[in-house]
A and B are shown apart, each in its own frame.
Chain A
Amino acid sequence: MALSDYLVTDDLTIILALVAAGLFLLHNLYKPQALVHPILLGRQSDVARVRNPTESAVYRNYSTGMLGRFPLRPSKDQHVLLDLVKPDADAPRSLWSTKITNPELRERVANIGAGLMRLAGLAPQESNVLLLLNDGIEFLLADLALASSSIPSFTLSSLSLLSTVLENHPPSAIITQADFLTQLLEHVYDINESNNHTIIVVGDIDSLKLPRLNNIKIVPWDDLEREGASVEKAALPVPDPNEVFTVSFFETPSGGYEGVQLTHQNLTAGVAATRALMPPSNAISPLDTIISAYSLSTPYGRTIAYTALFEGTGFATVDSTKLIKRDDAPSLTGLKDLRTTANYRTPSPTILFVRPDHLDSLSTSILHEAKRSSWLLHNLAWRHKLANILEGFITKQSLWDRLVFDSARVKVMGQGAGTVRAVIVSGGPLEAQALTPARIALSVPVINAHSHPLVAGPVFASHALDLQTFPTSNAAPSPSAADAYAFTYLAPVGPPSVNVEAKLTGLDDAAVEAGADPIGALHVRGPSVGRPLSAEEEPEEEELRGWRATGERAKVAPNGTFKVAIGSKV
Chain B
Amino acid sequence: MAFDLGTPVNTALLLYIFYAIQRIIFPSSSVPKTVPNEFKHGYTWMPKSHPPTLLFQTYTPKTLAPFNGEDGKRILLAIKGVVYDVTAGRNFYGPSGMYANFAGRDASRGMAKQSFEESMLTPIDQPLDKLEDLTPEEIENMKGWMEHFSSKYIICGRLVENDAV
Contacts and interface: CB of A to CB of B under 8 A. Distances in A.
Do A and B originate from a single complex? Answer: yes
A38 B53 contact: no
Interface residues of B, number: 47
A11 B2 contact: yes
Interface string A374-408: 00000010111011001110000000000000000
Given A10-B3, A11-B2, A469-B31, A38 B45 contact: yes
A392 B33 contact: no
Contacts of B31: 390, 469, 471
Interface in A23-43: 23-24, 26-27, 34, 37-39, 41-43
A11 B29 contact: no
A83 interface: no
Task: Give the one of B1, B7, B23 with max A CB within 10 A.
Answer: B7
Given A11-B2, A50-B53, A387-B28, A468 B9 contact: no
A45 B100 CA distance: 35
Contacts of B164: none
A441 B56 CA distance: 48
A386 B32 CA distance: 12
A26 B24 contact: yes
A470 interface: yes
B47 A558 contact: yes
Given A42-B39, A390-B29, A53 B57 contact: yes
Nearest to A509: B55
Contacts of A7: 8-9
B131 interface: no
A110 B31 CA distance: 57
A23 B27 contact: no
Given A12-B3, A53-B57, A17 B13 contact: yes
A27 B25 CA distance: 10
B14 interface: yes
Contacts of A37: 39
Contacts of A13: 7, 9-10, 13
B5 interface: yes
Contact of A515 (B8, B28, B50): B50
A207 interface: no
**For B8, B20, B21, B24, which residue has the most chain A Cβ atoms within 10 angstroms?**
B20
Given A471-B35, A513-B55, A383 B45 contact: no
Considering residues A20, A51, A56, A557, which has the most beta carbons from chain B within 10 angstroms of its beta carbon?
A20
A392 B43 contact: yes
Interface in A387-433: 387, 390-392
Contacts of A559: 46-47
B8 A16 contact: no
B51 interface: yes
Interface string A2-15: 00001111111100
Contacts of B10: 9-10, 12-13, 16
**Chain A interface residue bracket vs B:** 35 or more
Contacts, number: 143
Contact of A517 (B1, B28, B50): B50
A468 B17 CA distance: 32
Contacts of A57: 53
Nearest to B156: A50
A52 interface: yes
A123 interface: no
B55 A515 contact: no
A48 interface: yes
Nearest to A51: B53
A26 B20 CA distance: 9
Given A9-B9, A10-B2, A13-B13, A50 B54 contact: yes
Interface in B69-90: none
A19 B10 CA distance: 12
Contacts of B5: 12
Contacts of B3: 10-12
Contacts of A26: 20, 24
B49 interface: yes
Given A6-B8, A10-B2, A23-B21, A16 B51 contact: no
B49 A515 contact: yes
Given A19-B17, A383-B27, A51 B46 contact: no
Nearest to A17: B13
B48 interface: yes
Contacts of B139: none
B44 interface: yes
B32 A471 contact: yes
Contacts of A8: 4, 7-9
A9 B13 CA distance: 11
A553 to B, nearest CB: 18
Given A386-B29, A392-B43, A47 B4 contact: no
Contacts of B17: 16, 19-20, 23
B146 interface: no
A24 B7 CA distance: 21
Given A8-B4, A387-B27, 4 more contacts: A24-B20, A39-B39, A50-B54, A558-B46
16 contacts: A6-B7, A10-B1, A12-B3, A12-B5, A20-B17, A20-B20, A23-B21, A26-B24, A27-B20, A38-B42, A41-B45, A51-B56, A468-B43, A469-B31, A471-B33, A515-B49
Interface of A: 6-13, 16-17, 19-20, 23-24, 26-27, 34, 37-39, 41-43, 47-53, 56-57, 380, 382-384, 386-387, 390-392, 467-471, 509, 513, 515, 517-518, 556-559
Q: 6 nearest interchain CB pairs? A: A23-B20, A387-B27, A16-B13, A386-B29, A38-B39, A392-B43
